[in-house]
Amino acid sequence: MPARARQSKQHEDGYLRDTRKPLYCLVFVLPMLIAFHVVTRNYRMGLLVLSYFRGSAVYLPPLALLSVLIGQHLFRKDRWSIRPRVLGGMAVESVLWVAPLIAISHVTTSIFLNAGAPNEPSQLDSIIIGMGGGIYEEFVFHLIGIVLIMAIFVDGLTLPKIPVAIGAVAVTGVLFALSHMNIPPFYGMETFSPEVFTFRIVAGLYLGALFILRGFGIAVGAHVMWNIFVCVM
């Protein structure tokens, strides 16, 4: 392989590897996390994930997220240095990866896109809330859910990795869909309908696969971009 081609291949591999590193994911997500917890104080409890924390939702969920990512970084013994170009690439990928979600929504349904709610927040607040929703749903269902399933069944029970990964994506995808529905025990914000539930399952599967293939940061980015798309439609 020519030296220039080999160098290009190594640079590409380095980017793909860096985008999955906990430190890059943390730095990429942190501005959105800060914006959500600073700007949208009156609407935090609108997120089902945070409603379980009640008064501790102000500090416990962000501390848990930061602790998990920093803990992963320390466990991996990665360097503390950051290449800004990698963060820029993650932002571009987030925009690109939202395109399939938009296509999926048109194939399944788009009736929820413009469904307003009484006393709904302003568009800016809705966008910031969408950031929080993308961060914490990816954190709970994928960074915690998928990683935990993989740890139990692959690391603990030594089952084959690929079938377990597929099963983990399927399980968390269904839970992701159910969490949005206004049905026991979830009591999400959306009235159940087959069309919307189908979209949520497919979106959950897609985001779970994206998490496994491209990591937490880009999965959050694509999820947030989808939420912003819904807000501005």
3-state secondary structure of 183: coil
User: How many domains would you assign to the chain?
Assistant: 1
Which among 145, 154, 152 is positioned nearest to 174, based on CA atoms?
Answer: 145
Reported as a single tens digit per residue, the pLDDT across 143-197 is 999 999 999 999 999 999 999 999 999 999 999 999 888 888 777 778 888 888 9
Start-to-end C-alpha separation, the chain: 48
Please give the residue that has the higher pLDDT: either 20 or 11. 20
Residue 157 backbone phi and psi in degrees, to 5: -100, 0
Q: What domain range is 110 assigned to?
A: 3-232
Reported as a single tens digit per residue, the pLDDT across 94-126 is 999 999 999 988 887 654 544 444 456 678 888
Give residue 211's pLDDT. 98
DSSP secondary structure letters along 77-119 = T--S---HHHHHHHHHHHHHHHHHHHHHHHHH--TTTT---TT
Q: How confident is the model at residue 44 (pLDDT cuts 50, 70, 90)?
A: low
Q: CB–CB of 212/169 below 8 Å?
A: yes
Tokens, residue 60: 């416990």
Check pLDDT > 50 for residue 19.
yes
